Structure 1
Amino acid sequence: MASADTTWKLTAPAAKPIVQAALLAHDRIDDWDYELVIAGREVAEDKPDDWVLEGWFPRKPGKTEKAALAGLFEGVSEAGAPEITVEELPPQNWVTLSQHNVEPIRAGRFHIHTPEHPADREAIDFIIPASQAFGTGQHRTTAGCLEMLDAMKARGVIARNIADIGTGTGLLGFAALALWPRAHCTLTDIDPVCVPVVEENAAMNGVSMGPKPGEAVMVVAEGMDDPLIQVRGPYDLLIANILAGPLVQFAPAFAKAVTPGGSMLLAGLLAGDQEAAVRRAMLRAGFRLAARLQRGDWAILWLRRRQNWARLR
């Protein structure tokens, strides 16, 4: 019998453009089973065109889960869905396994490392253990966001009220507080498992949790749909490193939550069609592009809300 902590992984190998198209198809599905978490990646650095679409499920996947993954390839691959393999992972969290012995990263002035590695006293240093939540700094989107935050600070951005939507480990919110130490900070995530993770990481890195300036408040919520998120706004810096689909969906809510002239940092979207869709949605919502980074296949966008803007009807 499988352990309660066992995770099952589904793997579908395909060429890079096919996997990316399947990810776009996933973003357009409104009733996707949130327990089936998917991601795409290259097989190896020396094989940039060979990718896999992976899915993780808390129980042994059946025909429904396999069909859902296979369905993402309909219309994007002439050969149809690739063969999907299923494997049972050990009774440990798959993020912990993937982060084992991971090397520290440097992104702008930030140095991110696990407890097994020494701190860098010349950098803004954060300890982020491998954990049950995303946002350890190793993914190119998270590292790119750290770089962009550093660039925003260097270009004179002032942030007094910060929101980190889909915070995961809390890292990006913590990083923003390190750059703007007197700001209020609201951290949100849809997954309740992030609450103890964020609290543990905050204690480990000397970040105070609370409602005062220089402190962070944690909220479990989907997007902006929470009274506390709304009452603590509007925000002059909103960070959202999530997925392209939710970014498009939340664009009108983000516009209401960001002050005129305020900044928004978006990531979790692939350069190309996903980026174009997000930028169109944000333009309609009243944001303009201030700067862009690309790290691998991932785009990181800094947008600013227009000072005087009324949507054309």
Structure 2
Amino acid sequence: MPTFTALTTLPGRENAEKLSEALERLTPEPTGVGTFEMEDGSGLWEIGGYFTEAPDETGLAVLAAAFGAKPFAISELPDTDWVAKVKRELVPVEAGRFFVYGSHDADKVPADKEPLLIEAAMAFGTGHHGTTLGCLKALDRLANEGFVGKNVADIGCGTAVLAMGAARIWPDVVLASDIDEVAVDVAVANVTANALEGRVHCVEAAGFDHPDLAAKAPFDLVFANILKAPLVMLAPEMGGNICAGGHAILSGILNEQADEVVAAYDATGFDVHTREEIGEWTTLTLTHR
């Protein structure tokens, strides 16, 4: 089945979001629409639509003119088996003691590493992204310092790779939560694939808003690999759900956003323990005062 893309740019978040909403109402309808701020400092936003049939070029031209956007660039993508492509191109990742791999690389797992199986179809959270890699390295660093997590939560867990990493090295049950039902299903599937049933408990929740999380708080370690804005909003909850001397490992933070996140968490009682940049992403390990 062919896939078509229609991409444009325009300045300003408000107009970008309005154009994105209008694009969703186009006929034929797009199968997905994305809106992203470009990271080149230009102040431009990119809006993209994905279609399974050729989009209405006239309709796109009218939308672009109405919102002051550049003309849409329309392309037909080649029919590609993306999972097979990812399997070919995603090599295993080592993050300290952890070895993240797909089943196609099962024969490459070193005997002295903690294995974490994440299939290629679930590419975000495989460890290749700088945020996930940074969190796994931060976890490894804490363990090397002698820290033992006895009450650990992974908020916004996605594939649950971070929760599984903690469960690999420490004996107590780890809680993993995500606001998205599909992500929770993916997390459960990954826990099963890694033979960690009963060691990682997955729930659907926004932040800490779940009875299972409330029952186990305060935690001595919380992962939150999400984005800057929700991390800042979550700072007061973190302060109320992490014990004194406990840690938060945070990522999903662009390097230029890190100081703002640090300031938000300083205001709720956290000090910077370590700070690491991997590419354009920063991972923070914080300690609750």
TM over 0.5: yes
The structural deviation recorded for 1:238 is 0.1
Q: 2:103 aligns with which of 115, 120, 127?
A: 115
Instruction: Summarize the Cα distance change of 1:159–1:67 in structure 2 as closer, same or farther, 3 Å threshold.
Output: farther
The structural deviation recorded for 1:158 is 2.2
Q: 2:121 aligns with which of 121, 131, 135?
A: 131
Q: What RMSD, in angstroms, separates the aligned Cα atoms of the two structures? A: 3.9
* C-alpha contact (below 8 Å) 1:10/1:54 kept by paired residues: no
* C-alpha contact (below 8 Å) 1:7/1:88 kept by paired residues: yes
SS at match of 1:260: strand
Q: 1:153 aligns with which of 143, 149, 156?
A: 143
Instruction: Summarize the Cα distance change of 1:190–1:36 in structure 2 as closer, same or farther, 3 Å threshold.
Output: farther
1:289 partner amino acid: V
Using the size of structure 1 for normalisation, the TM-score is 0.71
The structural deviation recorded for 1:281 is 0.6
CA distance in 2, matches of 1:141, 1:240: 10
CA distance in 2, matches of 1:282, 1:98: 40
Q: 1:202 aligns with which of 191, 196, 208?
A: 191
CA distance in 2, matches of 1:165, 1:234: 14
Partner of 1:187: 176
CA distance in 2, matches of 1:265, 1:286: 15
Q: 1:270 aligns with which of 231, 254, 258?
A: 254
CA distance in 1, matches of 2:260, 2:191: 34
* C-alpha contact (below 8 Å) 2:254/2:280 kept by paired residues: yes
Comparing 55-64 and 140-149, the one that deviates more: 55-64
CA distance in 2, matches of 1:54, 1:99: 25
The structural deviation recorded for 1:234 is 1.4
CA distance in 2, matches of 1:56, 1:233: 41
For 1:280-295, list aligned pairs within 5 A: 280-295=263-278
The structural deviation recorded for 1:199 is 2.1
The structural deviation recorded for 1:8 is 7.2
1:139 partner amino acid: H
Q: Show structure 1 runs of 5+ residues with no match.
A: 43-47, 72-79, 307-313
CA distance in 2, matches of 1:256, 1:242: 19
Instruction: Summarize the Cα distance change of 1:276–1:49 in structure 2 as closer, same or farther, 3 Å threshold.
Output: closer
Using the size of structure 2 for normalisation, the TM-score is 0.76
2:102 partner amino acid: T
1:262 partner amino acid: G
CA distance in 2, matches of 1:54, 1:285: 35
Q: Show structure 2 runs of 5+ residues with no match.
A: 22-31
CA distance in 1, matches of 2:119, 2:287: 33
* C-alpha contact (below 8 Å) 1:131/1:197 kept by paired residues: no
* C-alpha contact (below 8 Å) 1:93/1:132 kept by paired residues: no
Larger Cα Rg: Structure 1 or Structure 2? 2
1:242 aligns with 2:226: yes
Percentage identity across paired residues of the two chains: 32
The structural deviation recorded for 1:227 is 2.5
SS at match of 1:278: helix
Aligned residues: 265
2:142 partner amino acid: M
The structural deviation recorded for 1:254 is 1.0
1:207-258 CA deviation, whole Å, 9 max, x = no partner? 12x3xxxx11111122222222222221100000010010001100111111
The structural deviation recorded for 1:97 is 6.9
The structural deviation recorded for 1:36 is 5.1
CA distance in 1, matches of 2:131, 2:178: 17
For 1:1-313, list aligned pairs within 5 A: 11=7, 85=73, 96=83, 99-101=86-88, 102-117=90-105, 118=107, 119-132=109-122, 134-180=124-170, 182-208=171-197, 210=198, 215-272=199-256, 274-306=257-289
Instruction: Summarize the Cα distance change of 1:275–1:86 in structure 2 as closer, same or farther, 3 Å threshold.
Output: farther
SS at match of 2:104: coil
